Amino acid sequence: MSNIKNAEKPKPKTGSTALQEQASLAAIYYAYKKGATLNDEKVTKNASKASKKAQLELDIALKEIYPAMKPAWYDTFISQAQTLCGFKLCKHTIGSTTNAYDYGWYDGSPKGIPSSDQTSLLPDIWDLMGPKVWDLFGGKGQKDSWNTADVFLVKKGKDKDIKKRVEVMYDEFINKCCTEPGVFVGTVNTLLTQFVHSGDLLPISLKMKTSQTTMTVKETNMHEWKNSDKIEIIKSKFTTDPFMFMNVLERSKEISFGGGPNKMDGGNSLQYFADFKVGDYNTKYLIEYRLSGDLMKGEVKDIKLTNKGEDKRATAQTGTVPVDKLKEMIDEFSGKPDEEDIPDKNKTLNTSSYITTWTSYLREVMTDSRIKKKMGKLKITIGDINEDYTNDYEGYIKKLFEIDEMCIDNPDLAAKKLNTKIGKFPQKIRLKLRQLRVLKAMANAKTKGRLDEYVVHMYYLAAKQNISNADLNGPFLKLS
């Protein structure tokens, strides 16, 4: 997650602020574009006629824009322009001209500046963010709560580039990636910080000059990034390869699945640990595809860092992937509907059709090397049964489905014959079949170059990223 330097909350505008902001921008425009002297004695002494004329034009423009202007405000407008000219990111020799910038006012089209030299980048970005983001700040009309900049400068031609970058992020984060809107905003803020640091974007918050003081520029809400000089849209990896065990054994005196006597082997679940980065937000999580009633659910837990710097799974779950969304994901990537060839728990799997289908499916998944995984061995060790079907996929499926039929037809007799409690074993068998589809879905996602998308979506479908309020405030330069 990005760090934030010099955080400051935005303040609402009052009174004649709109006119004052436009007058401030006009002074900056005449300083850079027209070469106004800004009443600097050293500059005025040797100034060209063009620079002196530009200063006169500026004085007239300020009166036209802000008729109620008092001397203290005139001094403010001139001092603001002088101070900005001396700032490292937009250094400019007073009295000279440059066509390097376009000029924008956050609240509309500014007076005193030709349309050919105007930009609407920041309000355009706000409009682009959409209702999900606007709601974070109290509605569309609350753009000042996102970024308190009053005016802004953008290097010529850069506004299209910056806006396009934000549009791509919106598509990736909101449309495709279903991330929390706060993650999108925080990452946009970090992107904009990069453009501020490069001098391509100068969002400026204006304050009236305090008498007998020197004005300064303070970088505010600058979102610092680490380890990279660019924004990563999606980047992920498995920190623990997916694991689910096909061994049939006795657990807690009940027939079950697992990898052995170790209770941390995952049991009936399919699990993986993942680490992903969306923008500047790094997340570690565990997902467990486990039985919930008669169906499979995807339960997500965040991985927390202990005070010893070790990863530790959270005690409480972060959230559960909605069942319909989970099915959509599995259907899309596995190529098969989630429930296809998986009958109700009261209808046996022990038919030639199901045996053929799932023998082929099991063989395909277990021999697929596209993603690393652990699946244990095809052993069945319950009661008097101790059989090893390693590499005998058909033999394993036949025996498994035979047990399924026994449990459905007469659970009491099955329990006696197998010498163990039946519990919900028919549901657990069907869970395993669904989990095979999950593994197939992940392998297919990798082949399509979309495994990152799969990993990230599974987290965001279940969880809400915890975004600090500071991350929501956009970067600006406080000129005061």
Average pLDDT rounded to a whole number, residues 254-268: 73
Q: Is the pLDDT of residue 165 over 80?
A: yes
Higher pLDDT, 175 or 343: 343
Residue 158 pLDDT grade (very low, low, confident, very high; cuts 50, 70, 90): very high
Alpha helices in 173-285 (DSSP H): 181-197
pLDDT at 227 exceeding the cut of 60? no
Look at residue 325 in the predicted model and tell me its pLDDT. 84
Report phi then psi at 181, rounded to 5. -55, -35
**Which is more confident, 446 or 47?**
446
pLDDT at 303: 77
pLDDT by residue (tens digit) across 229-249?
Answer: 567 777 889 999 999 999 998
pLDDT at 426 over 60: yes
Return the number of other C-beta atoms located less than 10 Å from residue 312's C-beta: 11
pLDDT at residue 16 tops 50: yes
- The alpha carbon of residue 427 and the mean position of all alpha carbons in its chain are separated, in whole angstroms, by 36
* Closest of 233, 204, 212, 224 to residue 103, by C-alpha: 204
The residue with greater pLDDT, 284 or 337, is: 284
Cβ burial 171-190 (10 Å sphere, 16+ → b, else e): ebbbeebebbbbbbbbbbbb
Mean pLDDT of 379-391: 90
* Of 89 and 148, the one with more pLDDT: 89
In this predicted model, what pLDDT tens digit does every residue of 270-312 receive, in sequence order?
Answer: 999 999 888 878 888 989 999 888 888 888 888 765 566 666 6
pLDDT given at position 398: 97
Closest CA to 400 of 438, 436, 372, 373: 436
Query: Would the pLDDT of 164 be above 60?
Result: yes
Instruction: Give 345-365 pLDDT, tens digit per residue.
Output: 999 999 999 999 999 999 999
Considering the entire predicted model, what is its pTM? 0.78
User: Each residue of 200-223: pLDDT tens digit?
Assistant: 999 998 888 888 888 888 888 888
Q: Which residue has the higher pLDDT, 342 or 213?
A: 342
Q: Which residues, 6 or more positions from 170, have their beta carbon under 8 angstroms from its beta carbon?
A: 128, 129, 130, 184
pLDDT of residue 148: 85
Which range, 4-13, 112-121, 175-184, 375-384, has the best average confidence (pLDDT)?
Answer: 112-121
pLDDT band at 470 (very low <50, low <70, confident <90, very high): low
Do 30 and 55 form a contact (C-beta atoms < 8 A)? Answer: yes
% the chain with pLDDT above 70: 90
Strand partners, 287: 272, 300
| Nearest C-alpha neighbor of 116 from the set 134, 127, 126, 103 | 103
Report residue 16 as tokens: 């004649």
The 10s digit of each residue's pLDDT in 318-336 is 788 888 888 888 998 988 7
Whether the per-residue pLDDT at 338 is higher than 90: the answer is no
Closest C-alpha to 84, from 143, 132, 36: 36
